[in-house]
Amino acid sequence: MGLGSRSAAPGLTLLLAGCAALAGPLSFLAPGLGRQPARLRAGSGGAPASAAQGAVQAERPGAGCLAAGAGVLCLAAVGLAAARRSAARPAAVRRAEADDAYGASHTSFYTDAVAKDKYDSIEEVMEKSLKDPKLQGMVKELLAACVKITEALRVNLVTVNDSSNTFGDTQLTVDVIADDLLWDLAKSSQLVCEASSEEEPEIVKTNPDGQYVLCWDPLDGSSIVDNNWAVGTIVGVWDKSTGLLGATGRDQVMSLVALYGPRTTVFMTMDDGVYEFTLGPGNQWICSREKIEIKKDCKIFAPANMRAAQEVDGYAKLIDHYMTNRYTLRYSGGLVPDVCQQFTKTQGVFTNPTSKASPAKLRLAFEAAPFGRLVEMAGGKTSDGVSGQSVLDVKIEAVDQRTALAIGSANEVDRFNETVLQKTPA
């Protein structure tokens, strides 16, 4: 088919559709169209109709044909004109019209997950995707602690505790409960040789025969937990051969993040990718997502530390890009839900640059490195917010070391590096 034929196809389609649509309305003009000539109908009382009546009746099909033909020709002209106008409109205009037509729901990114007949258990997944038996044991212990934290959040009110942490931050009762549960694990486990908590950023020796060093943020999102918003636990696991100080996030043997919301879900790295597990009936864990892949492009953004945009022109420019290009804002103020959406929506970017008046708050070992391993293993990218290199390559020189962070869809992290840091991707 030639180019001219292809361009006429939309008009031809409209023409055919119009013929079908007009078949009914035009039938009153041409009741005999497509049928045999009408017979003389009987007059009143069964007498034959007059010759004049018969002549009029016989002439109607021809008149109907002329009317129908005129209608079809008009419709053809309209259809071809509409096709030309449609082709002439820029694609951007058509996309904007589609967005307006759908309204807010068009940018809500509802799930497309379809229910399965069977979900694998955590044991079934580890058997094929986590070969190290010691790591399997570590996972089981960490998941058991997440179950206890889930139960504690369900029954304890959010109130201020009498004590504060080493930074002078006021602690909440749920912070302390979650931290105590993880310390109970670390001190009783035969697998943990050293541990450190964000609430107490010092390395504590536990079992000298253990294999792993644990670093955790017991309850990320303390400032929003009283709103009953989603919060979470972040855990990084290093081998004792590297320890923590002097190592990097890339030296982790696994990382795990638990999200406590309407459901409790856990995202963790395994030998062959990132998996999501959901806490089901009887406190049994089932695999709800496997081998998660984060897309290179995204339309979801979570801009943290927006105060920095008042000093960092590049950050103000980046946020303006998100708004101008109609990205969808999904930001709660909790690192765990704001980054975990990248696994469920398979896209997104979280940005947290710094400035003199708004310095870095995120801890490298407790927050950035564990999330960095998860996101990069799922195909995403990270930036340390200074040099533009991966946050997993930053050496951990202090337990409480802070960092800026951009994390998520690869092309958006590149955009952050270019716009905010003026760094061109390699």
DSSP code per residue over 282-350: GG-EEEEE-S----SS-SEEEE--GGGGGT-HHHHHHHHHHHHTTPEE---S-HHHHHHHHHHSS--EE
Distance CA 169, CA 162 (A): 11
Distance CA 49, CA 39 (A): 10
CB 232 within 8 A of CB 258: yes
33: in domain: no
**136 and 263 belong to one structural domain:** yes
Q: Tokens 């998941």, residue? A: 143
**251 and 217 belong to one structural domain:** yes
Global pTM?
0.76
Amino acid type, 151:
E
Residues contacting residue 416 through CB under 8 Å, at least 6 positions apart: 318, 349, 351, 353, 383, 406
28: in domain: no
Residue 200 burial by Cβ neighbours in a 10 Å radius (0-12, 13-18, 19+): middle
Residues contacting residue 315 through CB under 8 Å, at least 6 positions apart: 306, 308, 309, 351, 353, 419, 420
The DSSP code for 118 is -
> What is each CA distance from 403 to 335, 350, 363, in whole angstroms?
14, 14, 6
**357 and 403 belong to one structural domain:** yes
**254 and 304 belong to one structural domain:** no
CB 252 within 8 A of CB 367: no
Beta bridge partners of 405: 352
**315 and 282 belong to one structural domain:** no
Sign of the torsion angle spanned by Cα atoms 143, 148, 153, 155: positive
Instruction: Give the structural domain span for 323.
Output: 300-421
**252 and 329 belong to one structural domain:** no
Amino acid type, 284:
Q
284: in domain: yes
CB 380 within 8 A of CB 410: yes
Which CATH number is 404's domain given? 3.40.190.80
**366 and 275 belong to one structural domain:** no
What is the number of structural domains in the chain? 2
What is the helix (H) or strand (E) element at residue 231, kind and residue range?
Answer: strand 231-239
**315 and 342 belong to one structural domain:** yes
The DSSP code for 367 is I
Beta bridge partners of 160: 172
pLDDT tens by residue, the chain, 426 residues: 444 444 445 555 544 555 455 444 444 444 444 444 444 344 444 444 444 444 444 444 455 544 555 554 555 555 555 555 655 566 666 666 555 544 445 567 788 788 999 999 999 999 999 999 999 999 999 999 999 999 999 999 899 877 655 555 667 899 999 999 999 999 999 999 999 999 999 999 999 999 999 999 999 998 999 999 999 999 999 999 999 999 999 999 999 999 999 999 999 999 999 999 999 999 999 999 999 999 999 999 999 999 999 999 999 999 999 999 999 999 999 999 999 999 999 999 999 999 999 999 999 999 999 999 999 999 999 999 999 999 999 999 999 999 999 999 999 999 999 999 999 876
**283 and 321 belong to one structural domain:** no
Distance CA 212, CA 252 (A): 10
